Amino acid sequence: MNAAGRLTALSLLLLTAACAGGDKVLLLPPEPGAAPGSVAVLSDDGKTAAVIDTPNTEARLGGASVEARAVDPGAVQDRYGSLIDTLPAPPAVFVLYFREGTVTLTPESRPALDALLAEVGKRPGAEVQVTGHTDRVGHQAANDALSVARATEVASMLVAEGLDPALLVTAGRGEREPLVPTADGVREPRNRRVAITVR
Amino acid sequence: MTGRVVAALLAAILLAAAPASAADIGRVKRATGDAAVLRAGKKLPAKPGLVIQNADVLMTGPGGRIAVTFIDNSRFSAGPDSQVSLDTFTFNSTTHDGAFVSRVEKGSLAIISGQIAKKTPDAMKIRTPTSILGVRGTRFVVEVAP
């Protein structure tokens, strides 16, 4: 075999190795509006062995070391376009607001009900999570309970509007996730709300 | 203030009743071709709306596809000839603490992480036959070729 022949054989060998079976991970660009993320390759004891944090880079797994390499976006589309397109749509979130310390909706929140019912109709296999929130007046335990009460109130309202109860789950986040961050004990109407996630 | 106390009491009573769907961790959103969910040895045909439970296995044959949204807003899409075991799923919808460990035995899986990974980096893990991946809030693909 001459030098050129050996080189070709070597290239083929490398090419075969690159296409052979095994595990790999490819980081995709984040969804529009989402923060960029990363994937860590962990050792058996949970320590970080490598981090892949550049979109459109790929790493073969299971070897002695992890080396990420760039993949052309066109090649990503060719290989995984259908897989990515099959991912479910991002959950849609609707927000309803309440009068202070009550489970009574503000009048402005009524139209959002219609919008979310329409969204449920558009999604095959939809489910609806109703999550209550409070402002930071009162103790955390009381606010946890109040947030659940608000969620339960909205859930029964949705059932009255014709939503199948089997699609509904309720949750309360208390004062943990304020829309507008405030000090403890501060009245804030925008934080007295129920978020409805349509998945 | 009285309203708040009454509401709190009402909610405490409601909280005492355990939700009937505690084992439900997600729902099938899309399924095409040969796509099924393996549960306790039984193969359930996948269709939109099918409830997914802890320890289920997502299975597809040639040309099959299945997509699932989980209750923490994580989303999966498995390609043809795939097998994905949902080994561990715990999620507290109040605190967002939880753990989500899946195993890609074969095939391909696209993943968008949700609230579990957002609250606690590496609480969501994807295992492959050779490796463990810790998810830090992102969108990615794992492939396990034969």
Q: Are strands B98-112 and B124-127 parallel, antiparallel or unpaired?
A: parallel
Q: Would you say A67 and A60 are in contact if contact means Cβ atoms under 8 Å apart?
A: yes
Closest Cβ–Cβ partner in B12, B69, B132 for A199: B69
How many residues are there in chain B? 146
Residue A1 has pLDDT above 50, yes or no: no
Res A21: pLDDT: 58
DSSP assignment of A98-111: B-TTSSPBPGGGHH
Contact B122 A40 (CB under 8 A): yes
Contact A152 B14 (CB under 8 A): yes
Residue A161 three-state SS: coil
Contact B11 A41 (CB under 8 A): no
- B57-73: pLDDT as tens digits: 999 999 999 999 999 99
> Facing residues of A198 across strands?
A92, A128
Closest Cβ–Cβ partner in A22, A80, A147 for B110: A80
Phi, psi of B81 (to 5 degrees): 50, 50
Closest Cβ–Cβ partner in B94, B112, B129 for A31: B112
Token pair listed for A161: 């509007």
Residue B11 gets the label, from left (phi > 0), alpha (psi -120 to 50) or beta, of: alpha
Burial class (CB in 10 A: 0-12, 13-18, 19+), A79: middle
Confidence of residue B6 (pLDDT cuts 50, 70, 90): low
Contact A30 B50 (CB under 8 A): no
Residue A4 has pLDDT above 80, yes or no: no
Closest Cβ–Cβ partner in A42, A129, A174 for B133: A42
Looking at CA atoms only, how far is residue B53 from chain A in angstroms?
A: 15
Looking at B2-123, list the stretches that DSSP marks H as alpha helix, in order from N- to C-terminal side: 2-16, 115-119
Looking at CA atoms only, how far is residue A173 from chain B in angstroms?
A: 5
Contacts of A86 (CB under 8 A, 6+ apart): B30, B32, B65, B67, B77, B79, B110
Dist. CA A104–CA A153, nearest whole Å: 9
Angle between helices B2-16 and A140-160 (to 10 degrees): 70
Among candidate residues A83, A87, A40, A24, the one with its CA nearest the CA of residue B145: A24
Dist. CA B30–CA B111, nearest whole Å: 15
Dist. CA A21–CA A13, nearest whole Å: 14
Q: Would you say B130 and B106 are in contact if contact means Cβ atoms under 8 Å apart?
A: no
Res B138: pLDDT: 85
How many residues are there in chain A? 199
User: Tokens 């790999």 identify what position?
Assistant: A24
- A32-91: pLDDT as tens digits: 888 889 999 998 888 899 999 999 999 999 888 888 999 999 999 999 999 999 999 999
Query: What's the average model confidence in pLDDT over A88-110?
Result: 82
Average confidence score pLDDT of chain B: 88
Confidence of residue B93 (pLDDT cuts 50, 70, 90): confident
Give buried/exposed letters for A155-181 (b at 16+ CB in 10 A, else e): bebbeeeebeeebbbbbbbbbeebbee
Residue B130 three-state SS: coil
Residue A10 has pLDDT above 70, yes or no: no
> In chain A, which residues have their Cβ closer than 8 Å to the Cβ of B120?
none
Contact B110 A86 (CB under 8 A): yes
- Pick the residue from chain A with its C-alpha nearest to B92: A171
Contact B7 A37 (CB under 8 A): no
Contact B141 A25 (CB under 8 A): yes
